[in-house]
Structure 1
């Protein structure tokens, strides 16, 4: 785990997520590949869910598993991990691998928070 936040930073980020939640609330979705039937669960915001559905609807069926997520510490860590991964340019770096691992771990923790 490479994401480290103190209590003040968590609270600041939680407030930012509350604000973001007002614009486009957080959801957990499932994407099911139409050909293989493989599924993946994704934490995202509602607007991004709509974009994914529009852009990838030919290949995937999308459904919302949990709507309007609570802003937990794990969601804060998930958001930091997601932002960190998106900021990494080098696709073949150990830092990117760590960021992917962090994102997977915090995604799982958000799933557990939401009983999925």
Structure 2
């Protein structure tokens, strides 16, 4: 069954897309926890970080390059930003399609919250 991210990639459901190329799509999180909260998703459905393979390296590199370009375009690269990925239930993963949360736009607090 396709994830919600695959449905966004396939344009089956709407999203506020801010970046897209042949390997990556990035869009605004619908429940942001920072002034800037972007989800950066590979266009290949990879369930978790544990599932990546050497063949996925092009997607991973494309994600990091997209993050750099997005940070520059949103004027957060100089002051800084946070990049988070969650893995499985204890890590807080809710959508089982690998993705990064790009957070910025203000000074961020401690990384670990309970």
Q: What's the TM-score once normalised by structure 1's chain length?
A: 0.33
Say which one has the larger Rg.
Answer: 1
Q: What's the TM-score once normalised by structure 2's chain length?
A: 0.33
